Each structure stands twice: as C-alpha cells, then as structure tokens.
Amino acid sequence: MKRPPGEEPLEFQRRVRHEPTEPEKRLWSAVRNRQVSHAKFRKQTWLCGYLVDFYCAEIGLVIEVDGDTHAHQQVYDEQRTARLESEGFRVIRFSNDDVMRNLEGVVARICEALDPSPSHSAAPSGPLPLPQGERGL
C-alpha cells in the first residue's frame, strides 16, 4: 500500500480524496462506517502503485468506479486489474451509470463479493487445510 515517491502522487491522492465524483460520493456514503456486511472500506488507497477508489483490507477487495474516460483506456484498466489480481486482490468494477441509477444493486453486488457463498467462494489465498480425523494427522 505504499505510495509512489515524490510530491505529485501525494497531491493527486489528496485531490481525488477531497474532490470525488458524484458516483464516488454516493458509493462512499453507502459503504463507509461498516454499513455493508460490517466491512471497513478505505477510499483512494495506493495498492501496487495504483490509486484504487475503494479498498476493504479485511478480504483484499478493490472496488473501482469507472467514468466515461475509462471507455478509452480499457487496455490499461485490464492491465491494472491483472496486476492487482496477481498480488492477491479481488477487483470489481462499476460504471458511473450503475452507481447513479442502481446504487442498491451495486451494494448488493458488493455484499456478494464480501460474503461469497460456499458454491462461489473466493479463491483460497494459501494451501487448503488437510482433513482431520481418520485420514488427517
């Protein structure tokens, strides 16, 4: 979670934290203060050299809210997502339109990502435990 060196990244982080887009404001008001599955979110956090919109450290979940400019940088976004996922983070993306028109649906999708069902569980972050009892040690 280290910020790149220099003043420019710090100034950029301060600016986007203090001047969020309207969709970012709405989503932040919905996820802050452990309102969604009691998960703590941070906003505008550095991960792997990228400033991510929202981050839940408890489960390594990154939430990105993509505006119109992201339509022109799809390759960059895919590379960014691949890098974050290679470091063990899960990334979900929503468009500005999704957040503005269907905030309840967006929050429901975040809840699913925070509380995966057994049949759709998150990828394990390490070796699976060995069975206990007759076969185990």
- pLDDT tens digits, one per residue of 41-50: 999 999 998 9
Name, in order, each residue with C-beta under 8 angstroms of 83's C-beta and a sequence gap of 6 or more: 48, 50
pLDDT band at 136 (very low <50, low <70, confident <90, very high): very low
**Percentage of the chain modeled with pLDDT above 70:** 77
Angle, nearest 10°, between helix axes 103-114 and 22-31? 50
Per CATH, the number for 7-116 is 3.40.960.10
User: CA angle 73-123-131, nearest 5°?
Assistant: 170
Q: How many C-beta atoms lie closer than 10 Å to residue 107's C-beta?
A: 17
Domain ranges of the chain: 7-116
Average pLDDT over residues 57-82: 86
Alpha carbon distances (Å) from 99 to 34, 69, 102:
18, 16, 6
- From the CA atom positions of the chain, what is the Rg in Å? 17
Q: How many C-beta atoms lie closer than 10 Å to residue 44's C-beta?
A: 19
pLDDT band at 5 (very low <50, low <70, confident <90, very high): low
pLDDT of the residue at 15:
81
